[in-house]
Structure 1
Amino acid sequence: MTADDAALRRPMSVEPEALRRLCVAAARRSGADRETAEALARSIVLAERRGRPQVGVTHLLDYLAALEAGAIRGDAEPLTDRRGVVLRADARRNIPHVAFERLLPELTAEARRSGVAVLAVREAYTCGELGHFTSAVAEEGLVALAAANSPALVALGAAGGAVLGTNPFSLAAPAPEAPVLVDQGIGRVAYVSIREAAQRGESLPPGWALDRDGRETSDAGAALEGSLLPDGLKAANLGLVVEILAGLAGGSWSVDAPPFDGGAESPRVGLFLLALDPELAGPGFLDRLGRHVARLEREHGVAVPGRRRARLDRVELDAALLADLRRRAGEAEIARRLRDRPAR
């Protein structure tokens, strides 16, 4: 690595609110209306603060490119209706975050009234961090289960071609201090991590990916032309479950969805979210859950997902990535106020 390369990859520390403003400005300049830009920025910053940079600012660049290409209609108003406890939304090729934020109050109210409520979003761009949606429901005192598909990236079967998305699955439940939050895909690594490895010329560990001829490869560039491998048969089965739930929400099947990182066509995927009132299990369930989680952590040494770290007070970004975001935001005044400094 040259000195220039090292300088570009030097981590810089940014305050979350300053980062949010930059993300909003960049999304607005790329064609998003105010509501879409704010919803997207909130999800990106929260992913970074949770220590998940692969669905943070790096992934924001995919959203910006999709806005500029027309794959995301950043000013589209979602069309909503309901059938009993099921709230439905046509995102009209916008990000699902807009429909979700609009319907969250109605979703939580229905879950408290009926014990259960469902949100089904169709015709949407990809979700990014799925835990963004479930954790928002958990903050309202409810248990949330969500599934979303994506364009086909993962192989399943002897042919070796991509037939499933990375298909994230998430569950969040309220607990003292921090909620339980499970958020995972079915591959051994995120697609954006493979892409970054290809850009850096790095090799992949065995068992991560196949080339376009269906042969296992350690070449990240060949993997981009081929497919990812699921993290075992059980993960593959979970991917099928997610695909069915996303299809139930009205989303395209993954094999029919155009790539999310190129072109003007929307993947038109589905988001399925189930909100449950914990009182379904009887009074005091959340207290029981809190005690159980504490016991798992204290007596059994379990690292319960979602509770391993506090939200970061400052976000670290590569210097080159921060500079690119500033350029895309095009707001010198915001950039001057960032008060960034090299991370210690």
Structure 2
Amino acid sequence: MSSTATPPTKYSEAELTRLGILAFRALGLPEQDAQDVTRVLVLADMFGLSTHGLSRLESYGDRLKVGGIAAQAQVTVSTVAPALRLVDGGNGVGPLVGMHALRAAMEAAGECGVGVAFARASNHFGPVSPYSLIAAQSGFASIIGSNATTTIAPWGGSDARLGNSPIGFGVPNPGGDPFLLDMAMSVVARAKIRRALKQGQSIPDTWATDQAGRPTTDPAAALDGFLLPIGGHKGYGLALMVDLFAGLLSNAAYLTHVKSWVEAPDEPQNLGHFFILIDTRRLGSTAWLAQRMNDFAAILHGSAPVDPDQPVIVPGEIELGRLARSRAEGIDLDADTAALLAAYASPR
């Protein structure tokens, strides 16, 4: 039986940002660090990605309080080649490390046309799409990825040895909305399964298996089992490639070396991320790129939909539509997240 629905609480972007900064300041982060983290998580909520937005105050906050994440992280950036940056996150909150790496890659790409940043000593950094949007708004195309806690069995294997390896792509459009693709290599993120369990709901049997590898509709059994990769063995292969870039090449943990933030909340995860950016202004004028991007979208939108109520869309269209509505009408937070935010942000 599902729990009784409570109407969501609405916030303006400015108010939600203010409260988010207060909450992370209360958890020990310096002002600028709290701003970086909040920027990513508020964008996630505005995109409608509530499982990766300020609801993460719960897991981030629990780990900050037990020392599993460093509140006063010293993030360092080193230049090892003109277009290559290495970022040590100092075990900071993931979005903080992600923003440092994004800025480092943008700086390198601005100088060289292409910039790459590899980050290590990090934690869960939220969804990819906020970083892709920030990059696109500055004229950069991007490929961004991260490794994650082990939740997927190797193809044909019987225990979890790799994470769902989220990856995202972004291409700017000076004459309209950028293209943003943000996806994990599992059919869904574990956060969606945890939410289904919390709400007393079943899940589709295509999301995960139980411990014995059997498809299940029981979220509790799924959380004890394994996530299913997208596209079968092809998704498994792509997840490995993301981990090779995000974990192995960045000198972070990889595969089973990544600590579980659920099972060991007081231990550093040493997650890794990669940011590959291209300065599109080196390829042609903004008018050139806008014309091509708008034509690209028009070709796709021009396909007659099978269902008239579901027109063809391009990557990022749904999320950017939600972003625009959030700015016009306010941002919805569920009651639990609103209460958590208020508790952390309240004066002590």
TM-score relative to the length of structure 2: 0.87
- Could you say which residue in structure 2 is the equivalent of 1:295? 299
Q: CA deviation at 1:144?
A: 0.6
2:266 matches 1:264: yes
2:204 matches 1:188: no
TM-score relative to the length of structure 1: 0.88
- Could you say which residue in structure 1 is the equivalent of 2:308? none
**2:120/2:272 contact within 8 Å kept:** yes
Structure 2 counterparts to residues 62-81 of structure 1, below 5 A: 62-81=59-78
Q: Deviations over 1:198-249 (max 9, x none)?
A: 2223222112212223332221111112211112222222211111111212
- Could you say which residue in structure 2 is the equivalent of 1:91? 89
Aligned residue type for 2:253: S
2:11 matches 1:14: yes
Q: Deviations over 1:236-267 (max 9, x none)?
A: 22211111111212221131111123521121
For the structure 1 residues 143 and 74, does the alpha-carbon distance in structure 2 shift closer, same or farther, using more than 3 Å as the test?
same
Aligned residue type for 1:318: D
Q: CA deviation at 1:99?
A: 4.1
Q: CA deviation at 1:150?
A: 0.6
**1:188/1:231 contact within 8 Å kept:** yes
Q: CA deviation at 1:72?
A: 1.1
**1:257/1:267 contact within 8 Å kept:** yes
- For residues 276 and 96 of structure 2, what CA distance do their matches in structure 1 show? 17
Aligned residue type for 1:316: D
SS of the residue 2:22 aligns to: helix
Structure 2 counterparts to residues 207-246 of structure 1, below 5 A: 207-233=206-232, 234-246=234-246
- For residues 57 and 100 of structure 1, what CA distance do their matches in structure 2 show? 16
Q: CA deviation at 1:280?
A: 5.6
Number of positions where the alignment pairs a residue of Structure 1 with one of Structure 2: 329
**1:160/1:210 contact within 8 Å kept:** no
**1:188/1:229 contact within 8 Å kept:** yes
Segments of 5+ residues of structure 1 without an aligned counterpart are 333-344
- Could you say which residue in structure 2 is the equivalent of 1:55? 52
- Could you say which residue in structure 1 is the equivalent of 2:127? 129
SS of the residue 1:273 aligns to: strand
**1:182/1:305 contact within 8 Å kept:** yes
- For residues 318 and 290 of structure 1, what CA distance do their matches in structure 2 show? 36
**2:176/2:294 contact within 8 Å kept:** no
SS of the residue 1:245 aligns to: helix
- For residues 304 and 71 of structure 1, what CA distance do their matches in structure 2 show? 39
RMSD: 2.2
Aligned residue type for 1:191: R
- Could you say which residue in structure 1 is the equivalent of 2:201? 202
- For residues 197 and 145 of structure 2, what CA distance do their matches in structure 1 show? 28
- For residues 324 and 181 of structure 1, what CA distance do their matches in structure 2 show? 30
- Could you say which residue in structure 2 is the equivalent of 1:319? 335
- Could you say which residue in structure 2 is the equivalent of 1:113? 111
Q: Deviations over 1:269-290 (max 9, x none)?
A: 1111101122565553453223
For the structure 1 residues 145 and 129, does the alpha-carbon distance in structure 2 shift closer, same or farther, using more than 3 Å as the test?
same
- For residues 164 and 103 of structure 2, what CA distance do their matches in structure 1 show? 29
Q: CA deviation at 1:268?
A: 0.7
- For residues 148 and 209 of structure 1, what CA distance do their matches in structure 2 show? 21
Q: CA deviation at 1:103?
A: 5.5
Aligned residue type for 2:136: A
Higher deviation after alignment, 104-113 or 13-22: 104-113
- For residues 109 and 129 of structure 2, what CA distance do their matches in structure 1 show? 19
**1:186/1:231 contact within 8 Å kept:** yes
Higher deviation after alignment, 285-294 or 69-78: 285-294
Moved over 6 A (4+): none
- For residues 167 and 8 of structure 2, what CA distance do their matches in structure 1 show? 30
- For residues 71 and 260 of structure 1, what CA distance do their matches in structure 2 show? 8
**1:81/1:87 contact within 8 Å kept:** yes
Aligned residue type for 2:336: A
